[in-house]
Amino acid sequence: MTRQREVGYRGMWAPPEEDSRYADRNPVGELATIREYLTNYRLTLGMKCDGLSPEQLATRSVPPSTMSLLGLIRHMAGVEHSWFRRTLQGDRDTPRPFWSAEQPDVDFEGAVADPAVVENAFAVWQAQIAAADQWLDSGVELDGLVDMANGQRVSVRDVLIHMVEEYARHCGHADLLRECIDGRTGQ
């Protein structure tokens, strides 16, 4: 089935006056700049999911991939938890959301067209973002070093830049998934 391509507002997802991203166009300092990019990519992923039914959110890309918009939300909830809770805060005891040692692809495999699954995924993702932002508000030193589970040490800066990269890559996936679902395109 061929879908009509909808190019939004001059290539933008929303009219500039209604776009919740880019609120602080002149952040001061490195941490503020990193946080703005991270926030904007988080908002972009959420925007790509707006207005879709559970069936549309759970629509898979192309076989054999299990990727879907709902799967990306579940995946990013786990990524937020892994990097902010496990790595940056050293909390390896709190259970990881949407993760299983026995089923490595559970974040995507479990992304099914059930309203309760959709509601849970977005709630967990938003809770992980809120917890990460609360930690970031506590006074972060970008040059501070943290221990990863594999024994390597990395800087807080490296982890935060990696989070921006994670979202950027997955927002690209979300662009293509959304266009396949209803033809909607835009930044």
* CA dihedral over 9, 12, 14, 18, signed as positive or negative: negative
| Cα separation values, 186 from 14, 15, 40, 56, Å | 8, 11, 14, 18
- The neighbouring-strand residues paired with 154 are 146
Is residue 142 predicted with pLDDT exceeding 60? yes
Question: What are 171's two structure tokens?
Answer: 């927002």
Distance of CA 42 to the CA centre of its chain: 5
Mean pLDDT taken over the chain? 90
Nearest to 148 by CA among 97, 104, 82, 95: 82
At 166, which amino acid appears?
E
Please state, in angstroms and rounded to a whole number, the distance separating the CA atoms of residues 132 and 153.
Answer: 20
Please state, in angstroms and rounded to a whole number, the distance separating the CA atoms of residues 5 and 156.
Answer: 41
Which class in CATH covers the domain with range 16-182?
Answer: mainly alpha
Is residue 23 predicted with pLDDT exceeding 70? no
Question: When comparing pLDDT for 128 and 18, which is higher?
Answer: 128
Q: Is 101 helix (H, G, I), strand (E, B) or coil?
A: coil
Own/partner contacts of 131-136, CB < 8 Å, gap of 24 or more, are: 131/80, 131/84, 131/85, 132/80, 132/84, 135/84, 135/88, 135/89, 136/31, 136/35
Q: What is the mean pLDDT of residues 155-159?
A: 97
| Mean pLDDT lowest among 11-20, 51-60, 72-81 | 11-20
Contact assessment for residue 82 and residue 76, using Cβ atoms and an 8 Å cutoff: no
Predicted TM-score (pTM) of the model is 0.91
What confidence tens digit (pLDDT) does each residue in 31-50 have?
A: 999 999 999 999 999 999 99
At 30, which amino acid appears?
E
Give the other-Cβ count within 10 Å of 16's Cβ: 10
pLDDT the model gives residue 11: 60
pLDDT the model gives residue 134: 97
